[in-house]
Every structure is written in structure tokens, then in C-alpha cells.
Copies of this chain bind each other. A is one copy, B any other.
Amino acid sequence: MSERTVEEYLESIGALEERESPVSTSSIAQVLEVSPASVSEMLRRLLRKGLVEYHPYGGAALTEKGRRRFLELTRRHRLWEVFLNRYLGIGWEDVYQPACSLEHATSDLVAEKLGKFLDNPDVCPHGSPIPKSNLKRPKVPGIPLADLEAGQAGKMVCVVSESNSKFLRYLTSLGLIPGAKVKVLEKASFDGTLTIEVNNSTKAIGREAASLIMVEPV
């Protein structure tokens, strides 16, 4: 019985709910790289288990029970990311995949002890908030860097696409890591390409990429 599969579905749905609610079959299919037909089938199964609300052709939403499970998993995922990064020295661009496996192999006891060992950190290496043991849904903070105007400055808080190694390596090369100070020098009115200043050096970044970076304006 692959409990694992159910958990991956819950995680996708939970993450997608930040942007889209209810969540469409096709979004889930895309994230999980699975056919829409398989998703339909699974949604019926999750409905029977009381993990999602679901009306055919109407999309899905986590129930209270599903949401709790989702936050538990997110907490575990991000705690492992912190461990892998801080203690094993694995770069932020490579922690997502291993954490995505480890999260499913983590008992309540291990999760609790791991949290204590790491001193219950507030954020993962990508800057995303770690749900507390009380399992309140944490607020993703900040606004997209792409939304700043020329002249505005901000402090980077987190990145949205945590599993894309190539993108994260690219950000590292720009000096764009959580906590970095960014100032927008110019914003192309044509396509929104930004000229920014990070660490006293000037860089360019496309609108698409800049929309995945969350900053707190200062």
C-alpha cells in the first residue's frame, strides 16, 4: 500500500491551493507528471478517505484532515532540508529531492526530535516558512521581486520554485539568496526585465524569473 502516493497528492494539492482554489485536475497532473485521468481516479479515492472535497468537473480542496496531513508533511520536508543543508553541507539547490523522500519516512517521534535538534527553525534554506507543531498554515511573506518598481529596494525572503536546481544555482551566481539586499535600478517597460543591484554589483534578471523571488520592500 503506497501511502507515499497519497502523500505526494496531498502535498501538490496543498501547494497549489496557494495560487488556485479549488485546484484543477490538470494542475495536479502537471505537477505530479501523471495523466489527468489518473488524477481524477485518485481524487475520488482521496474523497472516500475524507482528505479532499471534490465534485466532478469542480476541482479539489483539502479538508481539515487533509490540510493537517499536508502541513505535517511540509514541516517534515523543510526540517530535513535544514538538516541536510546545515549539518550535511548540501547546497540549497540540492536539498529538495532528498527531503521529498525523507519526509515520507519520518515518524512523529523522529519529527519531534529532529525539530528540537534543529532548534525548531522558522524557515527552510529557501526561506519558506516551516509550519509549527501546532500546524497552523504559515503565511508566505513578501511580494514578487518582479512587482518592484525602478528605484525600490527590498530584502529577499524566499524563492518559490524550490525544486529547480538549475534555477537555484543561477540565483546563487547572482548573489540572490534569502536575506540578500536587492535594489531595482531599471525595469524595461517592454517585457519587465529588471536591472538590479545585489552585493554592490549590477545584474539583469528576466521578469519570469523575478516573479519567483519574494522580497520584502524596504
- Determine the distance from Cα of A4 to Cα of B106 in the docked complex, in whole angstroms: 15
CB distance from A162 to the nearest CB of B (A): 17
A88 lies within 8 A of chain B by Cβ: yes
User: A residues near B, CB below 8 A?
Assistant: 2, 84, 87-90, 94, 97-98, 101-102, 104-107, 109-110, 113-114, 116-117
Residues of B within 8 A of A87 (CB): 117
- Determine the distance from Cα of A89 to Cα of B114 in the docked complex, in whole angstroms: 10
- Determine the distance from Cα of A80 to Cα of B80 in the docked complex, in whole angstroms: 13
- Determine the distance from Cα of A84 to Cα of B98 in the docked complex, in whole angstroms: 17
* Listed A/B pairs (6) with beta-carbon separation below 8 Å: A88-B117, A98-B109, A98-B110, A101-B107, A102-B105, A104-B105
Contact of A88 among B84, B90, B94, B110 (CB under 8 A): B110
Q: Which residue of B lies closest to A104 (CB)?
A: B105
Contact indicator A97/B107 (Cβ below 8 Å): yes
Q: Which residue of B lies closest to A84 (CB)?
A: B110
Residues of B within 8 A of A89 (CB): 113
Residues of B within 8 A of A114 (CB): 88
Shortest beta-carbon contacts, A-B, top 8: A101-B105, A88-B113, A105-B105, A102-B105, A98-B110, A98-B107, A88-B117, A87-B117
Q: Knowing that A89-B113, A98-B105 touch, tell me 6 more A-B residue pairs with CB under 8 angstroms.
A: A84-B110, A90-B110, A90-B113, A101-B104, A101-B106, A102-B105
